[in-house]
């Protein structure tokens, strides 16, 4: 009788041990995905979006800071090259900041803030000149304007995408730089519209502060 009891107890212990060996521990619940917290105190100029305020140190009239609210944010693609442009009202005119460059390098940032209107006649180019430049695609091409040389950089069709309000457009585009890359001149030609010439001044990314605003 004692032997039978011991065997029963041992059998029970064996069953318990086997159950523990083969029992699968429940997997801990995976934490819910949490989006990374945005560092609003260190936003880069390329992080800007519609509704944000851009403040550019010393770039305004009388060397004041130039502050404007972005009401247009566009992504532009010209083949493998891409850049973004943020624009908005400043005093009684429209200004724009364009940001390009590789992600691994410091951003290439240019500002258009001059109220002066520039035309093809002002820069001494004709529609035929632009057609010839585009056909050659020669980096050695240049022209003289505003007491400096402007060197050919790019010409091709550009696609522009705007998120708010949603809009997609395309136009033909020429781009020129001064030898020191301190200034950039762009020429746009959309179908049915006149040539649009814009002159940009290069600024340092650290001079631009982004204040996150509400999306509009």
At 127-181, the pLDDT tens digits run 999 999 999 999 999 999 999 999 999 999 999 998 777 889 999 999 999 999 9
Give the C-alpha separation, 50 to 69, whole Å.
8
Look at the pTM and tell me if it is higher than 0.75.
yes
Give the C-alpha separation, 176 to 100, whole Å.
15
Give the C-alpha separation, 82 to 100, whole Å.
7
Q: How many CB atoms lie within 10 A of CB 179?
A: 11
Give the C-alpha separation, 163 to 91, whole Å.
25
Computed on alpha carbons and rounded to an integer, the radius of gyration of the chain in Å comes to: 31
């Amino acid at each position: 009788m004692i032997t039978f009891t011991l065997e029963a107890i041992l059998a029970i212990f064996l069953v318990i041990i086997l159950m523990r060996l083969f029992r699968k521990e429940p997997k801990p619940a995976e934490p819910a995905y949490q989006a990374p917290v945005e560092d609003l105190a260190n936003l880069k100029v390329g992080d800007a979006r519609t509704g944000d305020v851009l403040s550019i140190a010393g770039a305004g009239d009388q060397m004041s800071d130039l502050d404007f609210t972005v009401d247009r944010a566009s992504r532009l693609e010209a083949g493998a090259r891409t850049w973004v442009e943020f624009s908005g009202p400043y005093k009684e005119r429209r200004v724009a900041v364009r940001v390009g460059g590789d992600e691994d390098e410091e951003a290439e940032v240019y500002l258009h803030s001059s109220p002066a209107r520039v035309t093809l006649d002002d820069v001494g180019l004709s529609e035929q000149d632009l057609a010839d430049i585009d056909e050659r695609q020669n980096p050695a091409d240049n022209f003289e304007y505003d007491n400096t040389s402007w060197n050919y950089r790019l010409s091709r069709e550009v696609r522009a995408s705007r998120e708010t309000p949603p809009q997609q457009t395309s136009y033909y585009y020429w781009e020129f730089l001064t030898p020191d890359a301190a200034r950039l001149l762009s020429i746009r030609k959309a179908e049915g519209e006149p040539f649009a010439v814009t002159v940009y001044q290069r600024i340092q990314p650290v001079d631009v502060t982004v204040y996150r605003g509400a999306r509009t």
